[in-house]
Structure 1
């Protein structure tokens, strides 16, 4: 009796569940019947052209999509009822064709030919690069419609959009004192991918420097190039030479304005005699010396020279005087140098200045050579396109077809040359188009003589092999006669196998030699007849 009551209870529960399902179905049907689409007027005016512009999935909802829209609409009503103060959810916006589409909140993994999209850094970089910010109007409200990106494209168009990465294939980002330019791979003929330009002030001039990164498809090994305002700097041992920034005019041959030489400390000299920095002010005709710091000193000693004027045709050169030198000694007890010593020091400095000027000229020439080399490289850049890109695949296909065509042409040419037995002899003549009777006779005789020589060489080669194999068999037999009493069973079997193989080789060589001697006269006669019937030789060999 109790069991029967339990069964009646379970049946009542099932009836309640079925009634709830029926109510849900009725509610769903009512929702679908009341489901309306709202789209901007400018979109509705273009719906007549949607059949030609968009696939059917953009214009029509499948039954599953209709059910998703109903579920989303139901969730939206519940959310608005529970949280009336919050912003509405963006679940089912209108697309380009004026059709309501459900916006998924999850991503489905799918394979791609672009390996950079397999990492979160690559995905983040792609999204940041490819998508452009389009502010909402007004910015606090949800959009009335949502267009599908280029990512929704299929086939080769999807690959093309992924390869261009940014709208238009490039993106420019401006910073306070810099400009960052990014280009899609293979977009530029020089393979430039990234160019960072830094500026000295907010007016963006003058240019302080730039750094470029190139795609791996460049033929030259340098994938990164840094360019700055040109300056000459070089070190020799303990000396570092640095000039001020070099202008284009200075690179073309005019002298520099200032040359600075720095030296390490030489412990064998007192600090006030060991030069730390030497400055040649070429335009001012001055030389400034700064010495190393002495122990327990805060400032270094300094000395400055003014070079006397050199003699000219109209004016006598100046003599060095004490007024042309000024100095600052940290140690007041230090005795000043005499005029003669200062003059000798100035003469030595002027000689060093001449050497430095020569070094600067060499450095400038080196810079010019490097710049010219880089300009030549930039003009002759050959990009190697990856076959996994749309452009690379097309180029690879074209190159393969061209190579196949060239290979076929070469093979056909070789076959024609192989058939023409007179080709090697006709090349020796100045004019192979018209043959004289004497030329034809010489070609006929030379061709037969060369063929006869080849037959003899082939016979000699077979004879040498025959004699060599016979000698090897005899040597092996002599070795066996000497060692047969001490040989093991495996050694005897190895010997018998060797003799059998060598005897077979000797027989084959002997047979080949016999067949060659028998066939040689017939081959010689056949070639003679072929030459006499050749249309280029036949008219001249009728009476020969």
Structure 2
């Protein structure tokens, strides 16, 4: 805390906790624990433009006792410094090191005491402002810590969107690919398939579509199981195992985020896709035996 017309300085305060309400300091709400200021001290650096006997080195405000102490800087070649003690109820005490200096008049001491009372009020307000600022910083920090969310990097989002986008036209290789090839029995000859093989191909094809639509539930269930196991065995885990769990949870959250986007994009069309695939299978000439009564 600086002073008017002088060099820079610092300040400190001693306080005791009291209940908020009557007697609590400004800036403390009702029911909060405020700090009742008992003592404040201000220290000032040396101002070479003033004599040492007039240059304040330290001011101590004994708020509870109603007393103010003013200590001056050491003069050149001196081992002691002058000081003044002013009280709200009691006589003033002034100690001068220079015996030739004029003694302070009572009117001057009264004016000094009034000036120090104003400085005491300013110091109290500065302490209250610091308390309020500290509480605000703690409140904002607590809110930020409770609102932590995992952010997916932009490049990962762009890559996944490019890989899973349904708007891109398929290339020639994917257009020429047969949708039944992964589900056909190996070593299928020119004679075609039996009815049992056709039924198996149809079931595998429809099951693959269902599995893709149900993958989100599996990922969420796996993450829930991992978190439950972590909560149960947390006290027995090593730091390395805790770090491994955090990495796995982040990866699972990333996969779930991708699957949720896919689900939102395909949720309305999922049933129609299922029926469309079933119709396509029924109209496929290779599975014509499915339409023949058993």
TM-score of the aligned structures, taking structure 2 as reference length: 0.50
TM-score of the aligned structures, taking structure 1 as reference length: 0.28
- Which of the pair has more CA radius of gyration? 1
Structure number with the bigger relative contact order (C-alpha 8 A, sep ≥ 6) is: 2
